[in-house]
A and B are shown apart, each in its own frame.
Chain A
Amino acid sequence: MPSTNPSSNDPVTLRIPSGGNLVASTVEARRKAAMEALAAPCAEAVLDLAEAEVVDSLGITLILGLFKTCQQRKIGFRVEGANADLMRVFKLFSLPKLFPIVER
């Protein structure tokens, strides 16, 4: 179960772990968890993909939904821990033009 863990050093950063792959079978649960996490006030949200090896098209949609929500709430958003394959996909879809993505 994914949970929201504010960074110990920076209380305004909301860290959202992927809790595994972001694929069709998991995205709905991840979406609900992310929504709950975002209920807490924060200045920036970070999606941590350290545990994710695969992100399918629904996973990308979820990431974009997360980005959009953050944008609407005027909070920052970035992705961390993406593996090389994920980075290639994100670049293909020009996601780095929308928000910062840090490779694993």
Chain B
Amino acid sequence: MTSLADESIIADFVAESREHLSTIEPDLLAMEDLGAKVSQEVINRVFRAIHSLKGGAGFFAFEALKKLSHAMESVLMLVRDGKLHPTPDLMDSLFTGVDRLRAMLDDIHASDAVPCAKELAGLEAILSGQGVDLTETVKGRAKGTKRDFDLDAEGVRSALRRGMNIYRAIAYLHRDLKDQGMAPLQFLNNALSVGTCLDAFIDVEAIAGLESCLEEDLPVTLLFASVLEPDLAALALKLPVEQVKALEVKALKDKLKAKPAKPPEAAPAPPPPEEAQAAPGSDPEDRPEDRPEARGSAKEGGNETLRVRVDLLTNLMNLAGELVLGRNQLVRAITEYRNEIPGLGAILQNVNQVTTEMQEGIMQTRMQPIGTVFNRFPRIIRDMSRQLGKQIEVRIEGAEVELDKSIVEMLVDPLTHIIRNCADHAIEGPAERKKARKNPTGVIHLHAYHEGGQINIAVRDDGRGIDSRKVLEKAVAKGLVTPARAAEMTEREIVHLVFAPGFSTAETVSDISGRGVGMDVVRTNVEKLGGHVEMETEVGLGTTVRLRLPLTLAIIPSMIVGVADHRFAIPQVNVVEFVWVKASEAAQRIEQVQGALVLRLRDKLLPLVRLADVLGIPRVYKDPATGETLPDRRISIADRREAESAEAPPREGDRREDWRTDHNIIVLRVGKNQYGVIVDELFDIEEIVVKPLSSFIQGTKCFSGATILGDGRVIMILDAGGLSTAALLHFSDLQAEELRRAEEEKRSAALKASRRRSVILFEAASGERFAVPQDHVLRLERILRSRIELIGEREYIEYRGEGLPLVRLDRHLEVRPLEGGLQEYFLVIPKIPGQDSTARPPAGILISEILDALDVEVELKKVEVRGPGLLGSAVVQDHLTLFLDPVDLLRAAGLMGGDAA
């Protein structure tokens, strides 16, 4: 007999069982949260998962696994039937059961050695309370092992040749035949009317004997070939669709290859069946949907899922990488013949396109949703909450975001670390939260999202936040920073000290009310993945840890740059932009701040590093006069020497003016920071295949890997984060400098604004000029001298039906009086602050002529002239001009506040 149940199928079973367990964890949590209110759908999902696991365990004779899962299934059945409610004790039993099942799956062949007596006892106690005897329900399930079809090679080949699907169909004698009023003969006729029965067997091991045989619902398992699709095949067989599973064609073919053809033979002898598969027992929903070999796709080319080994995908990925390299080399080698060979261009383009699509397709097969990691945290937090006496809710967003499998796997530890720290240190206990007027239930929010070609994973809590003062105290006490450096550090730098190696020890963390345990490991792991980790925190409100990660690690588009004779690749995901600074503009745009080069880029200061300097490569330049490559001995690009003469042409060979010494700057992004890398040359953007570094140079900060260029040259891939670290860039220094400059500019603008005034220029006596700020003037009126009336000592004019007092400047200031021979004058009617423009003005200032209304930028000087309302003097339009505050003048004249009459 050829067995389908080999190691690879067991591995599939283990993988699927693990998936089942991780999938049901959120449902178990929901059961616990909702108690009796939980939906049947949720219970059924959990039930089916455990049931599947049990079926597979029985099939492969993993007894302990089968026993435990059976007990759990029995409990779940009672919950489903409403006979039990998901109480905390019951859920505890299920959770611990899941843990134990997981431990068994970790080493499936030693699963029987995993102790589970305690878990079983807990479940049995629950069941016995309901009058269910677990041992009774498993009675008759003799030690079974594999039972499989006798493959009729020719029959299977013939069916496949005719385009048939091969199914494993299970029919239960009681519920599928007797209960449906269907005789076995009728079932047989049904089956043969739509396909061919290639083999069948009945699980006789499940029968105890005559004593109780009629109570057993025996499954008949058919190997059935039909052209019908699975759902139609099930319909034709009158079986539930989940009992009709398509078999993987490739697996069958493989088995047939391994099976020598043999003539069909009768089997008259009654040999005892090798071993039986798990019996269905008394469970009416006992379905063999978990038979591992029955889970493949329906047929080749179908749109159903197909389980593929990871090592196969990895191998495909590597081959795709080699193909990309080969494509690059091919394109480079024959591009020059493009014009000579007709059609070559189109062929190259096609090869290029197909290679790219294939590589993308293969990469896609390795993508996994981040939810596979996220979904384990609610359970972890549930257990921690209980241990810590806290109430914590986990919210998940973006679980469907996909990442390369290798990245997903490597994220498990860092994320677990962060989440555990959230629960342990960040989220306060209910009493403390209530005291802080927070909801007693703390929230940990996991959020994955795409941004700028990268994946961001944010872990946000609403806990107590991190007290930067305490972090700094600890860091200084531990000698991680000097007191002098501590005094200069920004808040962000201080908070990021928790990522420093050596900072994180248990006693430190518990004292500083926040993160800390192993955060250096988190950072290291994330950076190993080519990612970055950042942290934002606010005391009392919470903390966010954000991981930025690449989508994949295998093939990445990169910019190829050159320094001297060397080439390097910079991952495009790190490249923000390319800046070309002309040699002649370098002096204006590149400067030094605290001894470091910076580029002034759109009003921001961008720190600069010279790649050659960081990597210890001797700098060279092309001599403008000879074109010769010479050593570059300049200390700084920021050469601020004046040109020899503004008018004189540049000196021949002056590199400050020669285009060949223009500066190529690539702006790189590292987390939230950016910096510029000065390189000699820029080449193309290429898809490079990342090759891991040899262990000898793995410690090098500046490189994340190596690759092979199209011309066969091996080059290093630069690590943007490592490069900035190696260059000792202090982004905070520049941020402080930017802040200082911004403050300075702000002050300067404010000062300038204070000097800038809109004024009305006028004369009183001829040649004596005055200015009043326009915003102090309500109106300017022309009046005839004949309209002026004198009442007592004061002059008036009729204005809008009322008498308006007039003020002559010479009566209050040491200036000359108006000329007497004029027939008309002008009035300056001041605007009184806080008074409506329709209100009656208190007075008007009599002047002889309005000269202009203009904006002036002046600094007022102290005036020698005495009198009220004088702001100062300045030269305007080449004339000394007195600046007046008209309201002050009127006040001095006693015309403010209703005293004008």
Contacts and interface: CB of A to CB of B under 8 A. Distances in A.
A97 to B, nearest CB: 4
Contacts of B269: 100
Interface string B81-102: 0000000000000000000000
Contacts of A71: 270, 272
Q: In the complex, which of the residues A64, A72, A96 has the most CB atoms of chain B within 10 Å of its own CB atom? A: A64
A85 B201 CA distance: 18
Given A76-B270, A77-B270, A68 B185 contact: no
A96 B267 contact: yes
A61 B197 contact: no
Nearest to B273: A98
B220 A93 contact: yes
Interface string B194-219: 00010111101001111101101010
B-side interface size class: 35 or more
Interface in A76-99: 76-78, 85, 88-89, 92-99
B197 A92 contact: yes
Contacts of A94: 199-202
B452 interface: no
A90 B316 CA distance: 48
A65 B207 CA distance: 6
Contact of A62 (B197, B213, B270): B213
Contact of A35 (B197, B200, B210, B216): B210
A92 B184 contact: yes
A79 to B, nearest CB: 11
B698 to A, nearest CB: 60
Interface in B228-281: 266-273
A46 interface: no
Nearest to A95: B202
B214 A62 contact: yes
Contacts of A95: 202
B174 interface: yes
B177 interface: yes
A56 B181 CA distance: 10
A58 interface: yes
Contact of B270 (A57, A85, A89, A100): A100
B184 A89 contact: yes
B344 interface: no
Contact of A65 (B201, B213, B220): B213
B191 interface: yes
A58 B214 contact: yes
Contacts of B271: 97-98
A54 interface: yes
Given A92-B197, A94-B202, A60 B184 contact: yes
B338 interface: no
B178 interface: yes
A61 B185 contact: no
B218 A67 contact: no
A83 to B, nearest CB: 11
Interface string A30-46: 01001100100000000
A57 B268 contact: no
A92 B150 CA distance: 13
Contacts of A7: none
A27 interface: yes
A55 B184 contact: yes
Contact of B204 (A28, A67, A85, A96): A67
B183 interface: yes
B188 interface: yes
15 contacts: A38-B210, A56-B184, A57-B173, A60-B173, A61-B173, A61-B174, A61-B213, A61-B216, A64-B202, A68-B204, A85-B185, A92-B184, A92-B191, A93-B201, A100-B269
**A-B residue pairs, 9 tightest by C-beta:** A65-B213, A57-B173, A99-B270, A57-B177, A97-B267, A69-B209, A89-B184, A57-B178, A65-B210
Given A58-B173, A92-B222, 13 more contacts: A38-B210, A54-B183, A56-B178, A56-B183, A58-B174, A60-B184, A61-B173, A64-B207, A65-B214, A69-B210, A71-B272, A89-B185, A98-B202
